């Protein structure tokens, strides 16, 4: 994934189709990662590019878009306002918006995250999937990818439970699931998980339906739990995820603790973006390097000091 999130999959499908359809300018409404991918792949494909983002995004996501040389519109509003504006621009300018007028192709790209899991499990389905929810597209298309491989006979069918992850500060899908509703009540997002901050998710009802019919769950977690989970994944697996992955790991933990995931189930957890993109989220929670002089005794003193303070104490010192 050249721009360090799974959005490279969806955008490569959408822009391939955009070129076939004859679009010369491509665009998107983005919570950050989509803008990175659209700008990068448009550059490669030789298409003009203009992307729209909310103005409060992480620095890494803005820089990671600007580097490819697109026009970037930083909109003073949240994602849902950006999305509304883009629907109007799509109508008036005839541009190819990957997640609006090209959305059917964009969402099909997420099926590859289903295909490759089957392949990596040795041509088997898992028992349980835990994945993050923004618009709900990825979640439902992993399912579609699984179904297609069953239909063409590449893998034996069996029930797979689908559980979704949201941040409490933007959890319209989790709320609808918990309250047994068939509709989504839009919310105003306020969470560190900005890549998942869609208050009015287009595929929300389908995500609720999928979790229900597969006997899964949809949970939400706090920003503090998200940050702890980012550290947990890094310290135990050597994987540094962005906040969306923190949301998913924190949800996994919650579901396991509640007995909703059996430890004997084969559970696949989707980590969808790289932690270098959301460094702000963990700044101040991860300690600092020990600064020393280039001398052996300075090193020995620092080593002694670091051994007398255990990890927990370090965290308290630094918070």
Ligand X SMILES: *Cc1c(COP(=O)(O)O)cnc(C)c1O
- Answer yes or no whether residue 272 interacts with ligand X by CB under 6 A: yes
Tell me which of 132, 145, 189, 275 binds ligand X, using CB under 6 A.
132
CB of 271 to ligand X, least distance (A): 9
Tell me the C-alpha distance between 34 and 51, whole Å: 9
- Answer yes or no whether residue 273 interacts with ligand X by CB under 6 A: yes
CB of 273 to ligand X, least distance (A): 3
Tell me which of 3, 5, 27, 220 binds ligand X, using CB under 6 A.
5
Tell me which of 28, 244, 250, 282 binds ligand X, using CB under 6 A.
244
Complex with ligand X: residue 24 or 211, whichever CB lies closer: 211
Tell me which of 27, 137, 166, 251 binds ligand X, using CB under 6 A.
137
Tell me the C-alpha distance between 160 and 211, whole Å: 10
- Answer yes or no whether residue 136 interacts with ligand X by CB under 6 A: yes
Tell me which of 7, 17, 61, 128 binds ligand X, using CB under 6 A.
7
The residue among 209, 174, 178, 211 whose CA lies nearest residue 191 is: 174
Q: Which stretch binds ligand X (CB under 6 A): 63-71, 74-82, 128-136, 228-236?
A: 128-136
Tell me the C-alpha distance between 277 and 33, whole Å: 9
- Kindly write out the interface string for residues 193-232 of this chain, putting x where it contacts ligand X by CB under 6 A and - elsewhere: --xx------------------------------------
- Answer yes or no whether residue 171 interacts with ligand X by CB under 6 A: no
At 32, list the tokens. 């950050």
- Answer yes or no whether residue 138 interacts with ligand X by CB under 6 A: yes
For the beta carbon of residue 239, count every other beta carbon within 10 angstroms. 14
Tell me which of 135, 171, 200, 220 binds ligand X, using CB under 6 A.
135
Burial environment of residue 308 by CB neighbours within 10 A (0 to 12, 13 to 18, 19 or more): exposed
CB of 267 to ligand X, least distance (A): 18
Q: Is the dihedral angle over the CA atoms 275, 280, 286, 291 positive or is it negative?
A: positive
For the beta carbon of residue 181, count every other beta carbon within 10 angstroms. 13
- Answer yes or no whether residue 133 interacts with ligand X by CB under 6 A: yes
The residue among 81, 78, 90 whose CA lies nearest residue 27 is: 90
At 147, list the tokens. 């179904």
Tell me the C-alpha distance between 168 and 176, whole Å: 13
Most distant CA pair in the chain, distance: 69
Tell me the C-alpha distance between 159 and 142, whole Å: 14
- Answer yes or no whether residue 3 interacts with ligand X by CB under 6 A: no
- Kindly write out the interface string for residues 37-76 of this chain, putting x where it contacts ligand X by CB under 6 A and - elsewhere: ----------------------------------------
Q: How far out from the chain centre does Cα 30 lie? A: 12
Torsion angle defined by CA atoms of residues 157, 159, 160 and 161, in that order, rounded to the nearest 10 degrees: 170
Tell me, by CB under 6 A, how many residues bind ligand X: 17
Name the site residues for ligand X (rule: CB under 6 A): 5, 7, 33, 132-139, 195-196, 242, 244, 272-273
């Amino acid at each position: 994934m050249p721009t360090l999130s799974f959005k490279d999959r969806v955008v490569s499908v959408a822009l391939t189709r955009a070129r076939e359809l004859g679009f010369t300018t491509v665009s998107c409404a983005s919570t950050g990662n989509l803008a990175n991918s659209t700008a990068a792949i448009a550059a490669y494909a030789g298409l003009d590019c203009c992307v729209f983002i909310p103005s409060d995004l992480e620095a890494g996501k803005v820089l990671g878009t600007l580097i490819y040389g697109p026009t970037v519109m930083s909109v003073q509003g949240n994602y849902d306002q950006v999305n509304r504006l883009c629907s109007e621009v799509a109508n008036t300018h005839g541009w190819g918006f990957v997640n609006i007028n090209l959305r059917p192709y964009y969402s099909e790209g997420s099926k590859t995250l289903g295909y490759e899991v089957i392949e990596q499990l040795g041509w088997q389905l898992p028992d349980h999937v835990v994945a993050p929810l923004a618009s709900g597209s990825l979640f439902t298309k992993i399912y579609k990818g699984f179904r297609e491989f069953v239909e063409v006979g590449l893998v034996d069918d069996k029930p797979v439970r689908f559980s979704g992850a949201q941040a409490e500060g933007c959890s319209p899908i989790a709320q609808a699931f918990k309250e047994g509703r068939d509709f989504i009540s839009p919310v105003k997002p306020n969470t560190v998980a900005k890549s998942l901050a869609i208050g009015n998710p287009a595929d929300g009802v389908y995500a609720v339906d999928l979790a229900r019919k597969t006997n899964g769950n949809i949970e939400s977690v706090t920003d503090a739990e998200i940050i702890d989970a980012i550290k947990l994944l890094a310290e135990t697996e050597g994987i540094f995820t962005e906040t969306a992955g923190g949301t998913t790991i924190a949800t996994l933990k919650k579901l396991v603790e509640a007995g909703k995931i059996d430890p004997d189930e084969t559970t696949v957890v989707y980590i969808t973006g790289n932690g270098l993109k959301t460094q702000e989220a963990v700044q101040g929670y991860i300690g600092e390097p020990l600064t020393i002089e280039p001398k052996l005794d300075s090193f020995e003193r620092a080593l002694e000091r670091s051994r007398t303070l255990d990890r927990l104490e370090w965290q308290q010192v630094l918070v």
